[in-house]
Structure formats: C-alpha cells, structure tokens
Amino acid sequence: MTDNNRIVSFDDELLILVDNNDTVVGYNDKNACHNGNGILHRAFSVFIFNSKNELLIHQRSSHKRLWNLFWTNSCCSHPRKGESYEVATKRRVKEELGLTTRLMYLYKFQYQAKFGDKGSENELCSVFIGKSNNLPMVNPNEISDWRYISIHELNEELINYPDRYTPWFKMEWKTITEKYLDTIKNLNT
C-alpha cells in the first residue's frame, strides 16, 4: 500500500514554459505560471476507464487554488523541469490515485481559462487515456471525491450541470467523444 496522504504539489516546483509550437522557452514556478492570465506551460490530462468503459472522474480538493471542488478527469497536472510526459503522467497517477496503468497519448491542444481573480490556466495540454479496474486510493490533498461514471451519464451531466466541471475537462471530453470513443473501447487493461 502506498502513502497517498502526502503533499505532492508545490507552488515552487518548476514547470516547463513553451511557445505555441511546444518548443521549450524556459522554466518558472507553478505559482507564477498561474498568476494573472497565466504563462503558457506544458500540462497533461489523464482519462482512466474501467472494463465497463466508465470514466474515473474526481472532484478537486478544496485546497486547490484554481477550480477547487470542481469535477474533472481522472488526473491532471504538469511535467516538471527535466521530466518527460511518460515519467510525469505515471508519477502523478500514482501520487493522486494510487494507481499504475499503461497510458496512451491521444492528442495535444492549447487553452487558456481564467478563474475569477485567483489566476488562470494557460496550458499546452497533452491528453492520455488508460484502463484500470483497480479502485483508486486517492490523495486527499489533491482529491475531495471520486466516482466512475458511464459515458452516457457524463454527457447528460455536462448538459444539465456544466458549471460543476473544469473548463479543460469539458473541452477534452468533447474531442474524446467526437474522435476517440473507438480507441477507448479497444483499450486493454
């Protein structure tokens, strides 16, 4: 069993600054990257499905600076200075969810979203999917609640309660359901 109660996210961790073409242009701490309108940096989102093709979603911790207590995809974070996406995604899935699973890259997109006067996301985000039937052992410093939800139920919730979900998740889910449902159905655990 892993210790999933430890603090795994730090305001001073160095994130990877990029241009619109994903060329590294420098590094800055996480706090600075999310101030004001944000500084463009690398990020990733992970979507983990079970064998019923239900998606593991989570409610962000109340301690999060941006979009606290909003529902979102299985795991989302940033590669740190010197980390590849492969290393960063595996690290974060383990730290947040206590899970280990093979991940597959789907696509990359850029977005910016402001969260009132608390700051902004300004990210070039790579999206990954994986499959696991193991129940998560969530880190309460990162996650307040979690559940598996069917694709149909999630689509209904996003229509009826869109303000409960993070902006990046809504953008990613739209692309996933339009282009990658067959890929999800063919994933192996």
Q: Which residues are catalytic?
A: 76, 123
The radius of gyration of the chain's CA atoms, rounded to the nearest angstrom, is 16
Amino acid at 85: Y
Distances (CA, A) of 115 to 47, 87, 186: 23, 29, 36
Q: How remote is the C-alpha of 92 from its chain's centroid?
A: 9
Q: How far apart are CA 27 and CA 142, in angstroms?
A: 23
Q: How far apart are CA 94 and CA 157, in angstroms?
A: 27
Q: How far apart are CA 166 and CA 184, in angstroms?
A: 21
Q: How far apart are CA 39 and CA 37, in angstroms?
A: 7
- DSSP-derived letter for residue 164 is G
